[in-house]
Structure 1
Amino acid sequence: MKVTDSDSVAIRFVIERQLAAFQKDDAQGAFAFASPGIQKQFLTAEKFMQMVRISYPAVYRPRSIFFEKITTIQGNITQSVLLLSPHGVPLRALYLMEKQPDDTWKINGCFLVSVEAEII
C-alpha cells in the first residue's frame, strides 16, 4: 500500500492525539484511536489504559517525541517515533497503523525497541 502525504499527516495526527490523551489520563480518548482489533482485545478503555501505564511508560508519559519516517514492516504501515522515557531512556516506538473502511487511520499495535535496533 502506498502512503500518501495526506495519509502521513493523518497517521501523525492520530498518534499525537493518543499521546495527548495519555498525558491527560483520558482513557476513552486514547482508546478511541486504537483499531477495532485492539479494542476487542482489551474490551474497555480502562483496561487498555492500565496496560499502557504499566507496560509502556515511555508511551504513557514521554519526555519528548520525535517523528521519523513511515515505513512498511512485514506488510504493516509503521510510523517510527523516537521517545524519551520518563527516566531519560531513548526508545523507538513502532506504531503499526491500520486504515479503516472510512479511510481514517487507527493504531493497531505499538512495539518499543532500543534506539540502537536496526529497522529493516
Structure 2
Amino acid sequence: MRAFPVAALLCFVFASMARAEDPVQTAQALIQAQIGAFLHNDAAAAYSFAAPGIKALFPDKDSFFAMVKKTYQPVYHPGNYAFGKSRAIDNGAVVYQELMITGTDGKDWTAIYQITRQPDGSYKINGVQILRNTTSEGI
C-alpha cells in the first residue's frame, strides 16, 4: 500500500521539474527578474539578462540602463503588468512573450519580448518591441 503514495510523489516531482524547464515559464521568470532589477535601479542585474547581441550594442551596464530609461520607460518602471500571449518555436530555442503594461502615467502598452536560448542552455532577452496599445495584438 505504500507504493502508491511514493509513486504519486514521484509523479508530482517529475511534473514539477518539467514545468520548471518549460521555455515559456523560464522566459516569464526572466522578464520578471529584469523588471525587478529595473525597479530597484540595479543596472548590473538588469544588464545580466541581456543576450550577447544586445551587449554588443551596449557594451556596458550604464549605456544599457540609460537606453532602457530613455526608450523603454513603461518597461523600466511599469505601473502594472501582466503576461499575455506567448509562443515558443524551434523546440523552445526562441520564445516570444507578450507583456501588457499600464505605465505609471496610466497609458497602456504592449511589449513583445524575444527570449533566446544560449549555447549553455540559459535564456537571455534578445530584444523588446514596445507598442502604444490597449489591446492584445497577438504574436
TM tier, smaller: 0.7 to 0.9
User: Are 2:55 and 1:36 aligned?
Assistant: no
Match of 1:70 in 2: 86
AA in 1 matched with 2:64: F
> Cα distance, 1:118 vs. partner?
2.8
More helix as a share of residues = 2
Q: CA RMSD of the aligned region, Å?
A: 2.0
Match of 1:115 in 2: 134
Contact persistence 1:63–1:83 (CA under 8 A)? yes
> Cα distance, 1:115 vs. partner?
2.9
User: Are 2:102 and 1:84 aligned?
Assistant: yes
Gaps of 5+ in 2: 1-17
AA in 2 matched with 1:13: A
Aligned length: 116
C-alpha distance in 1 between matches for 2:81 and 2:32:
9
Structure possessing the higher radius of gyration over alpha carbons:
2
User: Are 2:116 and 1:98 aligned?
Assistant: yes
2:37 is paired with a residue whose SS is helix
> Cα distance, 1:117 vs. partner?
6.5
Match of 2:7 in 1: none
Contact persistence 2:43–2:61 (CA under 8 A)? yes
